[in-house]
Amino acid sequence: MALWPAWRPGATNSRIRFSLFKDEMTRFTAKRLGTKPIIHPGLAQTIGTNINGPSAIRVPDWLKAPLGRYYLYFADHRGDHIRLAHSDRIAGPWQVHEPGALRLEDSGFPTRSSELDPPERLRESVATGDLRPHIASPDVHVDQARRQIVMHYHGLEIDCTQTTRRAVSGNGLEFRDPQPTGADFYARVFEWQGVTYAATLAGWLYRSPDSGQTFTGRTRLGDPATRHVAVFPFGDQLFLVFSRIGDAPERLLISRVLTTGSWRSWRLSDPRELLRAETPWEGAGQPVSPSHTGPADEPVNQLRDPHVLSEGNHLWLFYACAGESGLALAQLNRSGSDRE
């Protein structure tokens, strides 16, 4: 995945819409829960050592015989299935459901490298196996009206582009009917004022004409260096949590989304730092250096892949720690407001 040619860490770009707000903006702090990752390779051999892309739901009351009160979906950067853990408490302990939730062969994406037709620049990566069929970055939601669980996830197309598909489930364990959505990869789907949107890699914002089944038009909302994002509403405000490829260290930032006017004119407040690696299990003992695209197969000083679960008056922040070495949990707390 190439960044915009004009972008480099620390650079500015006139097409990136950051803004100073003239009204009050709620501020948040993140408080870690526990003294270790909630998901780590030691929980089960089936999840491997590359762990990223958390997405959690509170299991709906209509779901029969659930494994637990909470389901946590996650991935391997080059994985052949979407992982799943469950717990009766948000802070854990979490238990891995070893069969997982969605397998590559049921995803609608190619399953073998021989099916791929890569462009010249990617042929070597396919030949070496660095780029191969996979599914990852689950984004899971409860559709109360239809009594189904909806998963958005990304994979590799025949031409080696990466896109987002959508599948549904009646129990949160087996997903069916995978369909293309038209959105770029690393999609986080959210609803705002009755309309469904998706925020993706590289700062793209998509709008859906059909409640999240497909995404058509798009506009650049955030920094082209944006990796994963989380989007959540708080009162009448909308917030974006994200990390950026190239930051040293890569860490979690937060901006408010100013949603006045057309969605194509939305813009972000100047980002504030929300959380960085401060413990050994988050990678704080590793050297500080600019992050890169692609997987992190060894512990690094990076926090990635935020996901926010809103539950009543609580906001839970899940994130990948030490690059892609595990998943951790924090609570977002309002710390007042200020005038930008």
How many other C-beta atoms can be found within 10 angstroms of the C-beta atom of residue 14?
6
Give residues with Cβ within 8 angstroms of 313, minimum separation 6. none
Neighbours of 203 (CB within 10 A): 23
First to last CA, the chain: 34
Place 25 in a pLDDT band, splitting at 50, 70 and 90. Answer: confident
Helices (H), 37-193: 123-128
* Tokens (6 digits) for 203: 């700062």
Amino acid, single-letter form, for residue 3: L
Block residue for tokens 């196996």: 129
Q: How many helices (H) and strands (E) does the chain have?
A: 1, 23
Task: Give tens-digit pLDDT for 131-187.
Answer: 999 999 999 999 999 999 999 999 999 999 999 999 999 999 999 999 999 999 999
198 and 205 Cβ atoms separated by less than 8 Å: yes
Which range, of 6-10, 175-179, 222-226, 238-242, averages the lowest pLDDT? 6-10
pLDDT reported for residue 315: 98
Could you give all domains of the chain from N- to C-terminal order, each with its CATH number? Answer: 18-339 (2.115.10.20)
Q: What is the pLDDT of residue 17?
A: 45
Measure the CA dihedral 53/58/62/68, to 10°.
90
- Note the pLDDT tens digit of each residue in 261-303: 999 999 999 999 999 999 999 999 999 999 999 999 999 999 9
Separation CA 183–CA 179 (nearest Å): 11
- Whether 295 and 324 have beta carbons less than 8 Å apart is answered as yes
Judge whether 75 and 295 are in contact, CB under 8 Å: no
338: which strand partners? 25
pTM: 0.92
Q: Which amino acid is at 329?
A: L
Give the mean model confidence (pLDDT) for residues 314-320.
98
Q: In whole angstroms, what separates CA 313 from the centre of its chain?
A: 22
Q: What is the DSSP string of 260-323?
A: -S-GGG-EEEPPEEEE---SGGGTTTSPP----SS---S--SBEEEEEEEEETTEEEEEEEETT
